[in-house]
Amino acid sequence: MGRHSASGSDSPSGGDDNDGWDADQEPEHESSSGSEFDTGSLQRSHRSSDGSNWGVSKGLIGAIAAVLVVAVSIGLWWYFDGRTSDNQAEASATCVHGDNTIAVVADPSIADRIGEFSERFNKTHEVIGDYCFTVSVRPADATNVIKGLTGQWPAELGGQPALWIPGSSVSSARLKAASKTNIVSDSRSLVSTPVVIAVTPRLRQAIPNDKSWADLPALQSVPNSLDGLGLPGWGSLRLALPSSGNADAAQLAGEAVAAASVRPGESPELGAGAAASLAATAPKLPANSLSDAMGALLDAGEQPGAAVHSVVTTEQQLYVRTRSNPDAKKVIAAWQPAGATPVADYPTVQLDGPWLSEEQHTAASQFARFLGEKDQLKALADVGFRAEGADLPSSDVVSFATIEKPLSIEDKVRVALADGTAATPGTTTIMLSSSPAPDIKLSDITGALASRVRAISPNSGVGLWVYDGKEGNTVVRLGGAGDDVEGMPRSQSVADSLAALQPTGNGAVAYTTLRALYQDAVGGFRPNQVNSVLVVAGRSHTDQSLDGPGLIDTINRLKDPAKPVRINVIDFGNDSDQQTWQALAQQTGGVYQNLAVSNSPELTAAITRFVS
């Protein structure tokens, strides 16, 4: 809408300039002797029948005047309305209410990039509600953010945030669970990167491609697990799990281990014991940061005695740390264990709280959308993040391969696993043969069992029965792992008894022992836990009073739907009892696992899975 000039206006052409428009002229009266219609004149002369002359009608003049008044009024209204709109826009553009700021906190692994984007955003001079908004970004680990938002916000993190970008959605799930209010108003992934394990090239070559997340606890906890991979003297996996500056990678790896350690269809919550075992045996670092862990890995090189052989991190972190070194592939490699892949998805978490105004909510939303625009996503992809519609860089260290099956776990289970509140403690009665199968060393079995029992939660339940060719006996009665047994925790008593056990070679009354033990396990059922019996079988049974079908029938009669007790079986080689063990495991909801040898990571993995 253009501006219209009025008398006395500041039009540059002056008040006498008609801007090319001809003003209406007042008509002049002609003599009656003139022609009846004179071209170029604004007057017509009419002659009446009586010969009198008519002038221009006064009504016509009045009508024309009225039209002019209305036209001028409309013009003036448009002019002043335009001036008002322009003034409002100018007032808004100059931020009549002043400056305002929104605080953003981000995982340290992406905070620098978000800070760069905030500078771009601030240059747009975003105006919301007559405020000029700027964005301030600070790095912060998830634990500090969650504590601050659900308690006292720490001053060192600046103002309370309107937007949070943690390493993964497990952190936003933890915040929602910890908060008593609806503190999260929106959360959606910005970019993503899968969790990988950084290893030395030699170790990567030695690890079979079919090794999965479920194998990690055994590779970690068995003292010489890497001997079986052709690396004598290397000891165990020595997998570091840095919690600082690592995009939730340690927690995500724990989720993958838990999910891979349970049967299909079972909740990953039941595998929390395996994840806890992995963490409990991780190398201890001064600050437990990614920088410390990677430094320890790279400084030691491929030395068998290195304190750290591997580090859990993300594809993006490994890429950005190696991209400037053309020889990086000679000193470090990426291993992606088989199975569902854990992914750090970096959500933009928009917060809601009394410290935020409506304008700050809007500004946070606009900044989140700004981050998802093409230019910002391309910049993130350039440093190794996976972003929609953006090409990934090339690398000699990480493959950027397609993720075939991303790991998916419901929020409440993720929270339980991350916060250590999972219903992980189980109750396990161990039934062990002191007459091992041929070529099987009892010390391999008792050593692995003792290590696992020492690591279980005090809230778990544990008991130990041992059988030979004569009888089966209770060595440590079933009860709470943390309960006192002759001056020590029950778990320690079980571990010490296992360490002291010596092999015998006079048969195996396995069936009659399990009949008595299973009845005891049902009677001592511990609610709100997974109750099970772990049979570590030895030689074929030598019972005279009970055969396989009889045992199966007995267990069926002893089962109580209100007190379910699984039977898990670890068996070695070929023996005549296999069908019986398989049937018992199947009918009670347990698992049968047959192993060829006892000095293997597979034995430790099975024990870790079955004893929680």
Q: What is the pLDDT of residues 170-192, one digit of tens each?
A: 999 999 999 978 999 999 999 99
7 found inside a domain:
no
Contacts of 193 (CB under 8 A, 6+ apart): 247, 314, 315, 316, 317, 343, 344, 346, 384, 385, 386
CATH of the domain at 133: 3.40.190.10
Query: Helices 510-523 and 548-558, interaxial angle, to 10°?
Result: 0
Residue 25 located in a structural domain: no
Q: What is the DSSP string of 8-20?
A: T---TT-TT--TT
pTM of the model: 0.64
Q: Is residue 502 part of a domain?
A: yes
Residue 472 and residue 516 in contact, taking contact as beta carbons nearer than 8 Å: yes
Strand partners, 341: 406
* 313 plus 210 within the same structural domain: yes
Q: State which H helix or E strand residue 101 sits in.
A: strand 99-106
SS3 314: strand
**CATH, residue 440:** 3.40.50.410
**Which among 602, 596, 433, 424 is positioned nearest to 512, based on CA atoms?**
433
Strand ordering across the sheet containing 347-351: 127-128, 131-139, 99-106, 163-165, 347-351, 184-189
List, in sequence order, every beta strand (DSSP E) within 342-426. 343-344, 347-351
Residues 527 and 468 in one domain: yes
One domain for residues 515 and 451: yes
- Residue 212 structural domain: 194-344+397-405
474 and 598 housed in the same domain: yes
Number of domains in the chain: 3
What span, in angstroms and rounded, lies between the C-alpha atoms of 195 and 207?
A: 17
One domain for residues 281 and 372: no
Same domain, 239 and 131: no
Whether the CB-CB separation of 509 and 537 falls below 8 Å is answered with no
**CATH assignment of the domain containing 240:** 3.40.190
* Residues 231 and 131 reside in one and the same domain: no
Report pLDDT for 9. 37
Confidence (pLDDT) at 92: 45
CA distance 394 to 422: 40
Q: Measure the CA–CA gap between 518 and 365, rounded to whole angstroms.
A: 59
Task: Say whether both 119 and 260 belong to one domain.
Answer: no
Q: What is the mean pLDDT of each run of 10 residues along the chain (612 residues)?
A: 38 38 37 35 37 49 59 52 44 69 96 96 85 93 93 93 97 92 94 98 95 89 85 94 92 93 80 79 88 94 94 97 94 96 98 94 95 97 96 95 95 86 73 87 92 84 91 93 91 94 84 95 90 89 88 95 93 87 90 86 82 82
Residues 439 and 569 placed together within one structural domain of the fold:
yes
Give yes or no: residues 339 and 452 share one domain: no
The answer to the question of residue 23 being in a domain is no
What span, in angstroms and rounded, lies between the C-alpha atoms of 256 and 418?
12
Answer whether residue 70 is part of any domain: no
**pLDDT computed for residue 504 by the predictor:** 85
Identify the pLDDT of residue 14.
Answer: 40
Query: Tokens 């209770």 appear where?
Result: 474
Q: Is residue 277 part of a domain?
A: yes
- Are 563 and 507 members of one domain? yes
User: Which residues, 6+ apart, have CB-to-CB distance to 114 below 8 Å?
Assistant: 104, 106, 137, 165, 371
Q: Judge whether 82 lies within some domain.
A: no
Q: Do 289 and 366 fall within a single domain?
A: no
Which residue(s) pair with 406 in the sheet? 341
Residue 171 included in any domain: yes
